[in-house]
């Protein structure tokens, strides 16, 4: 397949950045790169444009670096919440992927981020909070906190309830009745003793009165 050398005028993913000289298939250059304005043929006249292309590339890369640095600072303060289906025991159905994180960043914070910049060693398969690395730029990395929550409340462990307060009150009531009964016995004994004393005092008086008569 015939090759031709071209000068890129735009950043082409997988091919190069503006001002790069690369070799591509002649048909690819003729049918796509040249018509779209993404490249120009290598020639003495076009080489003079290299300095302008290099300057534009440097400005673009500096802007990307500054933008990604500011984004990294902002993202480090965020918590991205992702709701998933889980069983009563808290076990997830499925897993959280880079695509889901990218979608939630856009939905919750209006941050558009290519999922390829989100680095996961393996999909997230458990509820809770994890830190996810973001590779925003060749020289800029960030850490995003991702909190995975269940769509349905996870069942709480059973708690043994204390005995109702009424039972204790009833027991206290029984003890009070016994106490009152104990207190009433001395009072009754005193009253009975006083009654006997009064009768004893009346008896001599009645005898004296009978003798006088």
Are 67 and 89 part of one and the same domain? Answer: no
pTM for this entry: 0.57
Q: Is residue 53 part of a domain?
A: yes
| Claim to verify: residue 85 and residue 56 sit in the same structural domain | no
Q: Answer with the one of 107, 134, 150 that is the final residue of a domain.
A: 150
- State the DSSP string of 14-42: TTB-TT-EEEEEHHHIIIIIHHHTSEEE-
pLDDT value of position 206 = 47
Domain contains 167: no
59 shares its domain with 85: no
Q: Can you say whether the dihedral through the CA atoms of 56, 59, 62, 68 is positive or negative?
A: negative
- CA-to-CA distance for 55 and 9, rounded, in angstroms? 12
Alpha-carbon distances, residue 115 vs 64, 112, 204 (angstroms): 17, 9, 119
208 in any annotated domain: no
Domain presence at residue 172: no
- Beta partners for residue 150, in sequence order: 84
Q: Does the pLDDT at position 171 exceed 60? A: no
pLDDT, one tens digit per residue, over 103-112 is 999 999 999 9
Residue 100 lies in a domain: yes
Mode of pairing for the β-strands spanning 118-119 and 128-137: antiparallel
Q: Are residues 146 and 79 in the same domain?
A: yes
What is the domain count for the chain? Answer: 2
> In this structure, what token pair is assigned to residue 116?
């390829």
87 and 57 fall within a common domain: no
Give the model confidence (pLDDT) of 19-67 as tens digits: 899 999 999 999 999 999 999 998 888 878 888 888 888 998 899 999 9
The Cα–Cα gap between 90 and 150 comes to: 7
- How high is the pLDDT of residue 191? 65
Our CA dihedral for 135, 55, 15, 63, rounded to 10 degrees, sits at 20
Same domain for 66 and 80, yes or no, is: no
Write the pLDDT tens digit of every residue in 4-17.
999 999 888 889 88
Q: Looking at the structure, tell me whether residues 67 and 79 fall in a common domain.
A: no
The burial of 211, by beta-carbon neighbours within 10 Å (0-12 exposed, 13-18 middle, 19 or more buried), is given as exposed
| Top-confidence range, 44-48, 68-72, 162-166 | 68-72
Please indicate, yes or no, whether residues 90 and 116 belong to a single structural domain of this protein.
Answer: yes
Question: Would you say 3 and 23 are in contact if contact means Cβ atoms under 8 Å apart?
Answer: yes
Give the CATH number, domain containing residue 38: 3.40.5.10
Domain end marker among 95, 125, 150: 150
In a domain, 178, yes or no: no
CB 150 within 8 A of CB 84: yes
Q: Which residues contact 133 (CB under 8 A, 6 or more apart)?
A: 118, 119, 141, 142, 143
Claim to verify: residue 80 and residue 59 sit in the same structural domain: no
CATH of residue 126's domain is 3.10.430.100
- Say if 50 falls within a structural domain: yes
Is 162 a domain residue? no
Instruction: Pick the last residue of a domain from 127, 150, 173.
Output: 150
Q: Which domain holds residue 97?
A: 75-150
């Amino acid at each position: 397949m015939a090759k031709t050398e071209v000068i890129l005028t735009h950043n082409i993913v997988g091919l190069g950045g503006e001002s790069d000289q690369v070799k591509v298939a002649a048909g690819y250059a003729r049918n796509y790169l040249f018509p779209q304005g993404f490249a120009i043929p290598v020639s003495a006249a076009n080489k003079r444009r290299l300095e302008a292309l290099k300057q534009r590339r440097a400005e673009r890369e500096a802007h990307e670096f500054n933008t990604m640095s500011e984004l990294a600072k902002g993202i480090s303060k965020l918590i991205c919440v992702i709701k998933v289906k889980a069983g009563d025991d808290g076990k997830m159905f499925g897993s959280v992927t880079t695509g889901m994180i990218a979608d939630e960043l856009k939905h919750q914070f209006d941050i558009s981020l290519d999922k390829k910049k989100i680095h996961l060693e393996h999909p997230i398969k458990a509820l809770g909070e994890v830190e996810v690395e973001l590779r925003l730029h060749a020289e800029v990395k960030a850490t995003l906190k991702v909190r995975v929550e269940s769509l349905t409340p996870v069942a709480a462990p059973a708690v043994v309830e204390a005995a109702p307060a009424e039972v204790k009150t009833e027991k206290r009531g029984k003890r009070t009745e016994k106490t009152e009964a104990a207190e009433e016995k001395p009072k009754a004994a005193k009253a009975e003793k006083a009654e006997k004393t009064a009768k004893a005092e009346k008896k001599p008086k009645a005898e004296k009165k009978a003798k006088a008569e």
